[in-house]
Amino acid sequence: MSNLEHWQSAKQPDTRTLHGRFIRLEKLDTTRHADGLWTALQGPDCDPKLWDYLLIGPFYERSAFDDYLAGLQASTDPWFYTVVDQQTGVIHGFISLMSIMPSAGRIEIGHVTFGASMQRTPKSTEAVYLLAKESFALGNRRLEWKCNADNARSVSAAERFGFTFEGTFRQHMVVKGKNRNTAWFSILDSEWAALEQAFQAWLAVDNFKDGRQIQTLGQLRRA
């Protein structure tokens, strides 16, 4: 059994903006972000599959969407960030830190809700990197990723980001009238230094040519 006699609780997330090369993560604020989020997530160019595996949505009326965002803004767990393009200020979606357990040093990245313009771009990878980096900077020992086991996109993302699969909680939830088996993934603090180095190398300017990656995140981890 590991000796944790000097263990100190992790810190809570705060309202600081987290800056990356492509995007920044701002504490969700309906006054500044609601219009952009509506366009990104419910506009004419939105991803038709976006809400399939989320606990709520889609929204067909702006008033219901605004009420939903107001709840996200008021929440302290989950703690929501809006994804903002660093160069243009365009809003692409939101993401959260959740299941926040400072006394155990445990936290989760969840509610990953990115508009179509952000998916399969360096911005989505950088958003996860910024929250993972923040999670361990706050003193957490464990970072989790959980998703519907049938959500192939989310499972693939967890594996690509370097999370370790831990198992499936069968019949874990009922979501929108359907059974959800939940796949669990994690990164430990002892694993983060190597993963962070791979993230940084992948996001670097010299890893892209004509907007396309030269080395994959997996290749950089193995290297």
Domains and CATH numbers, the chain: 18-204 (3.40.630.30)
Please, which residues have CB within 8 angstroms of residue 182's CB and are 6 or more apart in sequence? Answer: 146, 147, 148, 149, 168, 169, 172, 173
Is residue 108 a contact partner of residue 99, using CB atoms and an 8 Å limit? yes
pTM of the model: 0.95
- The predicted structure's pLDDT at residue 3: 77
Tokens 């100190």 belong to 8
- The predicted structure's pLDDT at residue 117: 86
- The predicted structure's pLDDT at residue 119: 79
Is residue 114 a contact partner of residue 83, using CB atoms and an 8 Å limit? yes
pLDDT by position in tens, the chain (length 223): 577 878 899 999 999 999 999 999 999 999 999 999 999 999 887 888 899 998 899 999 999 999 999 999 999 999 999 999 999 999 999 999 999 999 999 999 999 999 998 877 899 999 999 999 999 999 999 999 999 999 999 999 999 999 999 999 999 999 999 999 999 999 999 999 999 999 999 999 999 998 899 999 999 999 8
Is residue 207 a contact partner of residue 201, using CB atoms and an 8 Å limit? yes
Question: Quick check: helix, strand or coil at residue 36?
Answer: helix
Measure the CA–CA gap between 44 and 38, rounded to whole angstroms: 10
Measure the CA–CA gap between 157 and 138, rounded to whole angstroms: 23
Measure the CA–CA gap between 197 and 123, rounded to whole angstroms: 17
Residue 128 token pair: 């996860």
- The predicted structure's pLDDT at residue 1: 59
